[in-house]
Copies of this chain bind each other. A is one copy, B any other.
Amino acid sequence: MDGAGEDRPANAARHPEPRIEWFNVPLMRDLEIVERPAQQTTLTKRYTQEAREIIRENKDRPFFLYLAYAFPHIPLFASEDFLGKSRRGLYGDVVEELDWSVGQLLDTLSEEGLADNTLVFFTSDNGPWTVMEEMGGSAGLLRGGKGSTWEGGMRVPGIAWWPGTIPGGEVRRDLACTMDLYTTAISLAGGSVPEDREVDGIDMTPMLKGEGPGNRGEYYYYRGTQLYAARIGPHKAHFVERDGYGRSEPAVFDPPEVYHLGVDPGEQYALEEPPTEVMAELEERVEKHRSSIAPVESQLEKKIEE
């Protein structure tokens, strides 16, 4: 019994005009269900309001706020104030409400006198879910989407705000990833990362402040536990490729397909003859990376067993 109703369409057909009763999702506070089905049209605003309260309640001490809006993951819902406001349909309306929400949070930080000692970092977890068509977003010129290790699946916005410390209106072309947020946050808080394990994050602080280039010279693209691709500087090598979720068999490339992401960010034109020094460095770094991997206990399975 999931309360979805008999008229619920299957899969993707639900999403152009979603109804709350088709998605019997719970809204939880800690481990307690407080609402079911969640009234999703007001979810963005309620998250924003809750975040503003957390900022105000903690303004006199250091705090770390991780705010993960549910949207623009499908099913998409916007409040009445934003429905029909954009030219990009429901997806655009949802994004406008998120944009408004971020503005509310920045205003709150400024009102509380916290703007000059708070780093705000805005990012996303993956590219568009392309099988959901225009309800799933767009990767622009980038190839592929969510579930693939093409840039369209992996590259996300990264916007940093810290008036007086991070210069405004500038674009850094350096490589960074969400794993770097952990290391950066610890660095800014004056701590140090654990030394009893391999930590993949790199401190972004000098790059964010404009004091120097980013220190991430490489990036490894995984699907699950399998290495699909590796990037060294502007060169990206694909060992395995899948366009996204749903395709059953991956394509394997040996030798790898190599693209120059500076000249060809859309990964349209594999290099016919990748430079030998690039291939040598790639092999060396990938081997080093692989040897640094140690399987760890699944934190999710551990939680479920508790």
A-to-B contact residues, CB < 8 Å? 87-89, 91-92, 133-134, 138-141, 173, 234, 260, 262-266, 268-269
Contact = CB atoms under 8 A, between A and B. Distances in A.
A136 B230 CA distance: 27
A264 B134 contact: yes
B88 A134 contact: no
Copies of this protein in the complex:
2
A263 B138 contact: no
- Interface residue SS majority, chain A: loop
Contacts of A268: 133-134
Given A138-B141, A141-B138, A133 B269 contact: yes
A91 B265 CA distance: 13
Contacts of A260: 89
Nearest to A130: B268
A66 B141 CA distance: 31
Contacts of A141: 138-141
A262 B140 contact: no
B263 A134 contact: yes
A87 B134 contact: no
A173 B262 contact: no
A89 B81 CA distance: 45
Nearest to A133: B269
Contact of A140 (B87, B88, B140, B269): B140
Contact of A263 (B89, B234, B265, B269): B89
Contacts of A263: 87-89, 91-92, 134
14 contacts: A87-B234, A87-B263, A88-B262, A88-B263, A89-B260, A89-B263, A91-B263, A133-B269, A134-B263, A134-B269, A138-B141, A138-B265, A138-B266, A141-B141
A159 to B, nearest CB: 18
Contacts of A133: 268-269
A133 to B, nearest CB: 5
A17 B110 CA distance: 52
Ranked nearest first, the 6 interchain pairs of A and B with the lowest CB-CB distance are A89-B263, A87-B262, A140-B141, A134-B264, A133-B269, A134-B263
Contacts of A92: 262-263
Contacts of A87: 173, 234, 262-263
A234 B268 CA distance: 29
Contacts of A264: 134
Nearest to A138: B141
A180 B139 CA distance: 32
Nearest to A90: B263
A86 B266 CA distance: 17
Contacts of A134: 263-264, 268-269
A218 to B, nearest CB: 17
A88 B262 CA distance: 5
B89 A262 contact: yes
